[in-house]
Structure 1
């Protein structure tokens, strides 16, 4: 997991500014969300007031209509007419009585129709003689009609004189077919005795309820429904719903204190406001689409969202620009530092600003100039030292060695009849010619091996062949190039230091193999070995023992590093009493131009 402190400066600044912007926008959204919820509750409460006003208008309307049904109880003429026993009147008088009663009753009905122009019909039923007084827009009465078969008949009787509101139903008395009506009915009683003498029913068309709803002014497109006791629609602004059974989701809500809920109405997310008229027992439901109710706040919400988006975009863009203004010069400086780390001391930083980063860039440029100058100076000194040490190494084959060699040759000639004199002199002459090439740095591997063979051949003469020399070189690499005098210090140490014991079966192996990306030399002996502390000192160039050519070995290490880098070098492995193995790894150089 990436730690925050490990992030780039640009990312830190972007995250910081981004977090602040998101925090501010988040707080704005929270406050706005609270305000929206409050607004929505107020809008719903306002809609609830509209629904309550419709209920109040409904109750006032039917209260007036209900009072009309009570007139026959208090009107002496109406009460006598409905309570009259027509069976006790002689046939000669019955026609006259009927004419008077019907005429008087129709006058009464006509007055009611003139007052309540929304009525469909009025009926007064007499229990004893079955006489019916009626008035309406369709005079024809179905002779098959039976009052006692009406669904609402028992309710009216049970109400015992109280008004009964009857939801939408067919007016079965009409002929040839009925019509849907809404009614108010009441049981009629004889004045003073309260005997049950008949029933009055006032019918009205459901569409006349439209004026009750439209009396309530609203700025919203509310859909109102009035639902009767049988869950059928008495009124709706959608005429196709009148008389239909209502969706169960819109009724029987229990009418809690909340009085609204969210529903899907006709494929739209809507708010349903419901209430009940305690007077009529009917339900009033108002439905409005959420998009309609909250259209104003939705527009504001959309505007706020766009403002938030723009603010976030501006904030993030500002964060990126500010971060980039810091990051760009720092990144340039970091890139230059990495190039310098890889050895490119020309990677100057171009920054002319006078702020802290500008001063840092100028200081960096001055520093790499000084470092480049110091490295150049150190390189020149190292080259001079290398040439001096190379000359010193070549001069190690000193006159004393030459004297001893010549002395051996002399005694060989004297004692052995001069059989090996020519061979020994050839080796010596080759060695002297090789050492004379002081200006040549790279030679072929074949030349280095022939020099070592001559050098070892002369040493075997000196030590009376106490050791064997084994040379195993891959013939493919003879024409490849290597640094001059690379093997001699290790061969010298193996013979002068490693093969000094009493063992007469010493050997010295020189092996060279061509690897995939390098040439590997190995100088192996079975001499007395070297302890690990001495090996460490030799590798550091700190060993002081005269019998060890530590300077020559250190010179080889430095020359390999100088010419070939850290990927190549020398490894010394040794076990006391068993011998030493030197591994030298150099690059594959097929032409001296590759190195130059």
Structure 2
């Protein structure tokens, strides 16, 4: 933070030319960096999208090809249980006679060859029983007892005749062939399909046959080498050009079916990063593995449900973007050089008039106002020089005007003092008139004069926007007294005021306009009997006032136009505006005029706020 402040201060202390050069340089560099970044990111995004689409297409076509092959195999497997020859062979074999077992083996081998002989994908096909392993043993032999104690047999029995795909397994580990663990042989790792055969068949006479009760149900097992699953992946890896592309297939989150990664052996648990990334049947994700970003595309096969995937490091995906990065850096450097040159030339052009004005100001500081700067152009800087020269010419006039303005200020101050004396003069004059009226025994006139004087005194002594309700009522009573004398007791006024509200702060003279409206307009056609009722109360912590009369009333359309501002009503509008400014837009004045029942005004002025001052009445 200290270094930033130091650099900022150095920038402020540098010359205008330096600031201009640095600002132009930074602005140009920022624009070039943004453009380079946007171009690089757009290119990277497009390349990533293209690679993702390509990999997805490869996965989909490869999975479809494998699904077609495995579906054909599965359909063939589903035909085995209804083979009449196989049923007869299994029913007629004598498990205690070795020659009978050999004859059955030859017969079953022919049956299996008939079904799977033309399928290159099938590495070995056998039918297993507790007593004998039938089928070709040219490529591999499956020992009987280890087979029936293996997960392969357990899976087939639990499926109860359904076809089950077995993911990659180790021949030596599954069949307890410890001596084979050290050697290398082509069937060391396999995947298989197993099916418990519930044999049934119809003979030529239409008779339905099935295995006798208690007869062992054999298990069909077809073994495949994992290389069958690699073909499409290996082709894509060879022609894609990605040096570190890896691929594989998992049967669930705990086991590999096939993998190109030597560190991820077939049959071993799936790596944690791969397990966490694959969360659906298909998708694409960016995965971080040991600090390296990897593009992972995956899709599940329909027949087995196994998920095949291709993983490509982003360094490989974006490898050829290094050329773009190099060009971008070169372009940035070139633009910075151009920016420095242009900034220097521009700063010289701009700073020359400013430098001239700086020198001229130094001369003006000594009191010489006759200096002029040559005008070299009529652009903004030229206009600035012209205005500087014009300013120089008017300096003397400004000095004189400043002197005159000081004189006028003193005169205004004296006038203000005189204006402050006027209210006091009026109050004293009204008081004198009051005493003259009393001397001539004009008591009524004297009371009117003193009421007017006291109203004047109250209003001039209070400069705030609010005062206490008690002060407002005292002023209003004097106003009502004057109006009652003017209209010869045409009306009376009643008060219903909660005493606790007398010290509440209220807007100055906020009741007077409504009382005046009642007298002037409400009682216009009345000779006597007018009644004004002023009520104040507290409702839900809000102070409310109501001024109502029994006068002519106001039509609803007229009230609407007043509230809408279509008809000018200075007093009502003034009070409503002052209340809203002081207390908020939720408060204000509401007019009501029930038909034939006069008019009443409701005023809501906000929460209780007690006054700390009172205006004395003398």
TM-score for both structures, normalised by structure 2: 0.47
Q: TM-score w.r.t. structure 1 length? A: 0.48
